[in-house]
Structures are given as C-alpha cells and as structure tokens.
Amino acid sequence: MITYYQMKNKRLLYIIPALGETTRSKNYREIIKSAKQSGLTIKPITIDWDIDMTMPDYIEQADKQIPDNIPNDFILGFSFGAYIASILSIKKRARGYIFCSISPYFKDDIRYIPDESKKYFGKKMMDSFKKYSFPKKTFGQAWFLVGEKDWDLAKSRASKAYAMWNKGKTLKIIKGAGHELTDLNYTNAINSITKRLRDFS
C-alpha cells in the first residue's frame, strides 16, 4: 500500500510549452533541471504545432498525454501552454497549476486582439479560439506569473484569470521580464515555486 509520504515523493510535473516551442529548448531545460533537483518527476508534453491545425487539435494532443484526475500532481504551461492547461484543468483536477504568461485568446478576449494578430493567426484559428472561455469551476492551487514588460492584454488576462480562480492562488508580476522564459527573473520565479511542490500540501 502506497503511503501519503510516498505519494508526495513521486509527484509529477507536466510541462506544456508555448505555441511552436518544445520542452527540449534551453529555457525549458533549465526549468526541468531545477524541478528534478527539487525531487519532482518531469513529464514533458509534446505537441505537433502544425499550421493546418487549430486550438482544438493542440488541446486534444495535450489531453491524451495527461491523465484525468491527478490530485497529487502539477501542470506548468507557458503562453498557449498555459492556455491549454487552463482548458484542461476541469478534467485533470491537478493539485496545482503554474500559469506562465497565459495567452489572452479566450472568447471574451477576442474583441481586444489587435488586427495584426488576427491576421497572423488567420480566420480558422481565430474562430477556434471562440470555443473557449477561462474555466469558471476551478480545482487546486494556481500560480499566475506574467512579465512586467509583457503586452498589456496578456497582463490583463493574467489578472482576470487570477480573479476568477476560486481556490488557493498567487499572482506574481515579474520585474523586468517580458513574454519569454529566457529572462533570468522569470526562470527564478518558476524555480522558487517548483522547489516547494514535492512537499506542497
């Protein structure tokens, strides 16, 4: 029989990268290295960011790689990875989530998206965003991180998501950071959270 202590020492951290990215890149490797040193088991999520696919396709890929109902484990996502983590949170029911610079492309964000961004993603992708709203029913602890120099819509979305989360939560504005994990302050902020997760209760 597995004891609670043993369960805590086998905690998993699932990492969902940003659009077009992979957890094999250096910025994610640094986060993974620190999390492993803190006693976590890392489960990188691999997504085929094919340009012919849309958000439901990306969400489905992540969904298949993360079991439902994981009350002992954690999910970290950056940018659209954080967006996907939030959508899946209703099914996954993880112990906690680290939402890093969550992308502001939920249904109620669309009217604020600048035209150049809409043009970049195209109508098919933009229409797919309209299917999703930030969840009203939330589970587990949440840490919302966003760079001080991130674009205003991203900072607004992080604040709104934080306000909507009805469980334990923290919002951290990272000094000097923009919308990237390469910033040392950003990496340090994430590492300060992951080092506490093995024994988080």
Give the CATH number, domain containing residue 96. 3.40.50.1820
Residue 101 within a domain: yes
- Residue 31 in domain: yes
Q: How many domains does the chain have?
A: 1
pLDDT by residue for the chain (201 residues), tens only, comes to: 334 443 445 899 999 999 999 999 998 999 999 999 999 999 999 999 999 999 999 999 999 999 999 999 999 999 999 999 999 999 999 999 999 999 999 999 999 999 999 999 999 999 999 999 999 999 999 999 999 999 999 999 999 999 999 999 999 999 999 999 999 999 999 999 999 998 887
Is residue 152 included in any domain, yes or no? yes
Does residue 6 form part of some domain?
A: no
Rounded Cα gap, residues 94 and 40, in angstroms: 14
In a domain, 3, yes or no: no
For residue 145, the surrounding DSSP H or E stretch is strand 141-147
Within-domain flag for 4: no
Using alpha carbons, select from 178, 77, 95, 188 the residue that is nearest to residue 139.
Answer: 95
In a domain, 2, yes or no: no
Say if 38 falls within a structural domain: yes
What residues make up the domain containing 179?
A: 12-197
Q: Look up the pTM and report it.
A: 0.93
